[in-house]
Amino acid sequence: MKVMHGLTGCCTSVLGKDSQTDAQNVILALHADSYRIMHFAGHGVYNYQQDNDDKLCDMCGHHVSSNKKITGMVIGNNAFLTPANIKSIRFVSDLVFINWFF
C-alpha cells in the first residue's frame, strides 16, 4: 500500500516482508496522519468465512465458534481491511480509491 499526502506528492509505503506486521502497519498508518489521496489495490474477499479457532467466552469460559464473514481487502494472514476500517478514519481525504479484485 502506498499513501500519498500533502501537496508535495510524497508517498509513504507501509508494506514489508512480515504479513502480520504489515497488517498492523496498514491500520496504524490510516490513523496516523491526514492524507489528500489514498490508493489501495490488492486481493479482496466477499463474504469470506474467516478461519477462527474456537475461542473461550470471556464471560463464562465456554467454547464459542465464530461464523463471522468478512468482506474487504486482504492485508495479511487472516487480516482484512474492511469498509468499517475505512469509515473509522478520523481524517477526511480528498480522494480514496479502493481497487479490490477477487
pLDDT score for 76: 82
Average pLDDT over the chain, rounded to whole? 76
pLDDT at 99 over 50: yes
In this predicted model, what pLDDT tens digit does every residue of 44-70 receive, in sequence order?
Answer: 999 998 766 656 655 556 655 667 788
Give the C-alpha distances (Å, rounded to integers) separating 59 from 23, 53, 63, 75.
29, 18, 11, 31
pLDDT at 1 over 50: no
pLDDT score for 25: 83
Rg (CA), the chain: 16
